[in-house]
Structure 1
Amino acid sequence: MAGAEPWDDEYDVVVAGSGAGALTGALAAAGRGLRTVVLEKTALVGGTSAYAGAAVWLPGSQVQQRAGIGDSTESARAYLTALLGEAEAERREAFLETAPEVVAFLERDPAIDFAFRPFPDYFAAPGRSAAGRSFVPLDLPAERLGELAALVRPPVDRDRAGLGHPEGPLSAGRALIGRLLLALVTTGNGTVRTGTSVTRLIVEDGRVTGVEAGTADGPVRLRAARGVLLAAGGFEGNDAMREKNGVPGAAGWTMAPRGVNTGEPLLAATAIGAATGLMDEAWWCPGVAQPDGGAAFTLGFHGGLMVDASGRRFANESLPYDRMGREMAAGPGRVPAYLIFDSRNGGRLPAITVPGRPAEEHLAAGTWVRADGLAELAELIGVPGDALTATVERFNGFAATGVDEDFHRGEDPYDRFFTGASPDGNPCLVPVDRPPFYAARMVLSDLGTKGGLRTDPDARVLDRDDRPIPGLYAAGNTSASFAGRCYPGPGVPIGSAMVFAYRAVHDMAGTGTSRKDHS
């Protein structure tokens, strides 16, 4: 698209999206004195990052050093290499090299503070950290953010209900977004424009020089003298794109805010020749089906067992959520699956769900069912009664011995992380033997797609001949993840988005550390 028409406004850097990666890139640009604008499609800032627990996986940083956990870039390299092999080796090295620098850069700003929080890495592989490598932002008092607090997306349960923030400080993902937003605005060089959705990239003489964006008042043309950074999430909210690319699940089951992440920036880039990768991939998780047709992110199973349409177990229910999601996607009859549990905890779900809904709402909607016997429960969920009864009896036998002979539940540190104080035996194997019994419908949810634009170590978007498209960069779920088909540990999506957005800005400013010529 030629740029003959006049610009409505001019910036050095245009950033599409307002999640943790986008705001880190914007802060890196504004902190260097570059006039920067963040374009957010909705009226609220933060995207899926605002819903997150905000674990950030940036190994070898000063946060881990303060905590004294013995983490290092070298051990993280061993871990990632064991999981990923030599695929994406250049981007992996760029990530590892830059992660400590990003943390130091962010913590130099008085608005940003992190603290280590134990959360195990997701695979038993060389270099794994028993305590994990992720850290979280400190809670942010709302009064410190002032009027900007109204821009931050509320927690998922309140946001879906059309409510604002709860009383008290902003925590988890809201704290991360709030801190980055405060730091950005304080630079004096950063602007946030909400209700502004990128629809086209403007190309002049082979270089991306700006964007066309839709607003309530019509389209606007915004110049980007140094570059455009696309960090606006994936396409998990677009059922047509999911179907076209073979992404399991459904837009209604994703954990992204509703009505967002429908892929327009990605499509704008492919329209000018950008290459894509991993387009059938996502960051998976089991989801408890919700009365409104949505799903709730579910992790930390500390009881119950999950069965498929045959009435039999198919995986270790305590697996890290992406791994369990992949097990659900791997076989027929596993979506929906059913979590079978009993009344030992008053009929409460033996897992963490975000958002959570009262059992009474689920029972009234039919997303959960309850019965005095297993045969009756099986009839209610449409699985063979003899198979379900035999499955539960076998599982209860494992609970008695403390050994899951089928799927080894409770043998990995991650399995036990959510069980609290461990009683004698295997705390992950709790018998299901106290009627009435419950079955909760489980669907395949996700934290976002992870396929998108192919990029180089400096987040430059590549064309279909593997050459960088001048002026165009991508990070986060708008890009194809360097982690490929693996989810190494808590906070990798956020951490990698932050690193590559940061590297993109350094390249725009002429200070990038990777200068390999792909042309």
Structure 2
Amino acid sequence: MDGQDAATGAQESEYDVVVVGSGAGALTGAFVAAAGGRSVVVLEATDRLGGTSAYSGAACWLPGTQVQERAGIGDSTEAARTYLRALIGEGTAAHQDAFVEHAPALVEFLERDPAIAFEWRPFPDYFAAPGRMDAGRAINPLDLPAAELGDLAALVRPPVDRDRAGRDHARSAPLSQGRALIGRLLLAYVRAGGEIRTGARVTDLLTDDGRVVGVVAMTADGPVEVRARHGVLLAAGGFERNTAMRAAHGVPGAAEWSMAPAEAAAGEPIGAAVALGAATDLLDQAWFCPGILHPDGSAAFTLGFRGGLIVDGHGHRYADESLPYDRMGRQMAAAADRVPSWLIFDSRTGGDLPAISLPPLPADAHLAAGTWVCAGTLEDLARQIGVPAGALTATVDRFNGFAATGVDEDFARGDDPYDRFFAAGDGPNPCLVPVDTAPYYAARLVLSDLGTKGGLRTDAHARVLRADGDAIPGLYAAGNTSASMAGPVYPGPGVPIGTAMVFSSLAVRDMTGAP
């Protein structure tokens, strides 16, 4: 239904379900609603769909499903429940139970649609705890031929390197990783009759007698009111790109270092819900990661260190460099002299970074800009990056001794299956590669993130709660718009996406009364 509000002059329309955001969680909820015969609209603030989900590797931590069963890896709902309880505790027990119990049914439902297909790929869980899968339990979407998506492919956000450079994606190339996940969900959703509106930034929520009945969105043509007969799902990411909100809540890092698209994740939906009395939690938290600083001031998500060592501003190591990225990011955030840090490596890689960095940038560009430096000796390298030469040389000497024996006596690098997943060395410990071949390099590392993880408090049905614990009728939240079930912990690859998908599905089922 379309019309115009006589009081405000805003254009008006009405659907059964309104979904704010277009990442993996938002599109999952939208598809669940559309497949159930509901009228649905997805409102996306930017001109492209997918948000940070489109940039991602698209690991989905959805345990105990038919995908893991097909792979024969021995995963189960109970093992995942045990793992989450061991890491997170009882504080979010109801959310954890809802998550692990609904994940198998959600994946079975999604794979009924011919547009959606997953496979298991090895990637270890991040902690040594009961219920862990050393080989990993995350599932990934299959690549999607662009021809199958047709004209809809133009709506999917380009890969992060092309997007940041202002270049479009190659229209004929298959969609892979995060873009494949968004493309598959989008295709299923549109085929089910769902609608998309880009350039619709939600700023306010509409209420009637205490119930949320729609949203106000700013568009190029002015404000629009979009009403919802059953409910509104806020799944639009966090506030990682909002400098003021980060500062107000003490989130470490910086907006310009976040991996979220620059024009997204400003936090308006969270603010709109708070204005109605919604409670919040975990507002100082994020999904952290080391980031290689780029010359333009942005950062590149960096993981999978297969060489080198990381030192602080005093030239000292302070952690196992092969830790999972959120755990390494939290080590960085623990002391002021660790941001920036420096990745010290030598020329055995030909000057290439001994790690995965997304988006990548050639070494020559970094060296020309000074975000990396190169020197013939460690003493000169130390001088160029401003750390004590004696401390840096002593640190490297000690590290090289560990590489010779295969035992990291300081931080146990190489003892964990995750450490060894990316390892490429040929010594007694493949995670410990000596740094002894001139010239030497130092790459500046800052504290990046994959998004904030604090937001609206919800119950296990994804209903948004007030401070007294009562639900706000008609209002739901999932993904980084909500406070994460995981608290300050990042249990395994794809937990942000997997939880967003499950709780978006649960939200829609609750608001529509679907089984």
TM-score (norm 1): 0.97
Aligned: 1:442 with 2:445: yes
The one-letter code of the counterpart of 2:286 is A
Cross-structure match for 2:141: 137
Structure 2 residues not aligned, in runs of 5+: none
Aligned: 1:397 with 2:425: no
Select 1:221's aligned residue among 207, 218, 225.
225
What is the 5 A alignment of 1:182-261? Answer: 182-188=187-193, 190-261=194-265
What is the 5 A alignment of 1:468-507? Answer: 468-507=471-510
- Given that 1:3 and 1:204 are in contact with CA atoms closer than 8 Å, whether structure 2 keeps it comes out as no
Cross-structure match for 2:51: 47
Select 2:150's aligned residue among 143, 146, 150.
146
d(CA) in 1 for partners of 2:248, 2:213 = 30
Cross-structure match for 1:368: 372
Residues 444, 202 of structure 1: alpha-carbon distance in 2 compared, 3 angstrom cutoff? same
Report Cα offsets for 1:147-204 as digits up to 9, x if no partner.
Answer: 000000000000001111135200000000000000000012x100000010100010
Select 2:465's aligned residue among 462, 485, 508.
462
Select 1:105's aligned residue among 105, 109, 119.
109
Cross-structure match for 1:265: 269
Aligned: 1:83 with 2:87: yes
Aligned: 1:27 with 2:31: yes
Structure 1 residues not aligned, in runs of 5+: 513-519
d(CA) in 1 for partners of 2:494, 2:119 = 14
The one-letter code of the counterpart of 1:75 is A
In the TM superposition, what is the alpha-carbon distance from 1:286 to its structure 2 partner?
0.1
SS at match of 1:103: helix
The one-letter code of the counterpart of 1:51 is Y
Select 1:180's aligned residue among 178, 181, 185.
185
The one-letter code of the counterpart of 1:501 is S
- Given that 1:3 and 1:203 are in contact with CA atoms closer than 8 Å, whether structure 2 keeps it comes out as no
Q: How many residues align?
A: 509
d(CA) in 1 for partners of 2:199, 2:260 = 17
What is the 5 A alignment of 1:413-424? Answer: 413-420=417-424, 423-424=426-427
Select 1:297's aligned residue among 275, 278, 301.
301
The one-letter code of the counterpart of 1:310 is H
In the TM superposition, what is the alpha-carbon distance from 1:17 to its structure 2 partner?
0.2
In the TM superposition, what is the alpha-carbon distance from 1:259 to its structure 2 partner?
1.6
- Given that 2:61 and 2:492 are in contact with CA atoms closer than 8 Å, whether structure 1 keeps it comes out as yes
d(CA) in 2 for partners of 1:424, 1:487 = 31
d(CA) in 1 for partners of 2:427, 2:406 = 9
d(CA) in 2 for partners of 1:41, 1:115 = 31
d(CA) in 2 for partners of 1:200, 1:228 = 12
d(CA) in 2 for partners of 1:29, 1:365 = 49
- Given that 1:22 and 1:498 are in contact with CA atoms closer than 8 Å, whether structure 2 keeps it comes out as yes
- Alpha-carbon RMSD: 1.2
SS at match of 1:26: helix
- Given that 2:427 and 2:433 are in contact with CA atoms closer than 8 Å, whether structure 1 keeps it comes out as no
d(CA) in 2 for partners of 1:436, 1:164 = 37
Report Cα offsets for 1:206-236 as digits up to 9, x if no partner.
Answer: 1000001000000001110000000000000
The one-letter code of the counterpart of 1:428 is C
In the TM superposition, what is the alpha-carbon distance from 1:511 to its structure 2 partner?
3.6
In the TM superposition, what is the alpha-carbon distance from 1:332 to its structure 2 partner?
2.2
d(CA) in 1 for partners of 2:208, 2:196 = 25
